[in-house]
Structure formats: C-alpha cells, structure tokens
Amino acid sequence: MSAFPGIPALLSRAGTASVLTAATVTASMLIPTLATDAQAATPGTKALQIAASKEGSPYQYGATGPNRFDCSGLTLYAFKKAGKALPRTAASQYNKTRHLSAGSRQPGDLVFFHSGSNVYHVGIYAGKNQIWHSPKPGKSVRLEKIWTNSVWYGRVK
C-alpha cells in the first residue's frame, strides 16, 4: 500500500503520467501548502522544495550538503540551488533577510529560533506551522511542527 493513497488513483485516471507529474503530485503532498504556479517560481518556494527533497539526510555540524547538513547549511544549500546567496550561520542569515511578522510569513520564508537576541537555529517555513530543518546530531532533515513561540521570520531578498 502506498504511503500516499491518492497517488495511484490520480495517476491511473491521468493515463500514462510523466515522472515530472508524479514528482509534482508527491511534492504537493509533502509540502503542506504548496503555492500556486505563480508563487512556485519564487526562490523561497524553490528552496522549500529543495529542502524537502533532502528529507532523511543526516545532521552533521558544519555540513552544507549535498548529503549532510546542519541547520544553516540546509538553508544555505537550498537557497543557493534556488539562485540566492545566504551567509553561513543562522544569525548571519537572519541579518540578511527582510524581517516579517508571523501573520506575513509564507512557505519558503526562513524561521529563526532565538533565545533573547541570540539566534541559534533556522528552518524553512512549509506552511501549517511546520518547517523543514536539520535539527541536531543523531537526527536527519525532516518536516516538523514549530515547537516554540520564540521565533522570528525572514524573507530572503
């Protein structure tokens, strides 16, 4: 049985589907609020899709991909592949983004976890209060619910 029960039915109704179509259907199921076609072309939504494609890649301190990542290494890698340059650390990435309110956040924006004024973690907002991130040693890239209110949001310019 498929992990995504609707996919076989969708594909059989469509006849012979291309690999690209199957990938798009799967991506829209992995990314909770996949944007419209116009928004899908933004660097943020491209970076979101790239980060999601790295699901299961192990955490490694200081790693920037393509197979291992730390938190800011994943965001740096995803945005670089989407055509945008970011600095190396989470704090430097925060300083490089346009800061947003929680109400203005969109899929593809960065989510910065902080303690006081110290930014210590970053992920890519996926919608529905979830992020793609590389959490910590012993864990791997995953989609996870935002677990605290001590977050700031930023959009890559």
Q: Could you give the residue numbers annotated as active site? A: 71, 121, 133
Gap between the Cα atoms of 21 and 66, Å rounded: 24
* CA 59 to mean position of chain CA atoms: 15
Cα gap 124→8, rounded to integer Å: 29
Q: Report the Cα 39 to chain-centroid distance in Å.
A: 15
Query: Which residues are registered as beta bridge partners of 132?
Result: 124, 143
- The HSE-up count of residue 76 (CA atoms within 13 Å, CB side) is 20
Tokens representing residue 55 in the block: 């699901």
Question: Residue 98 has which token pair?
Answer: 């346009």
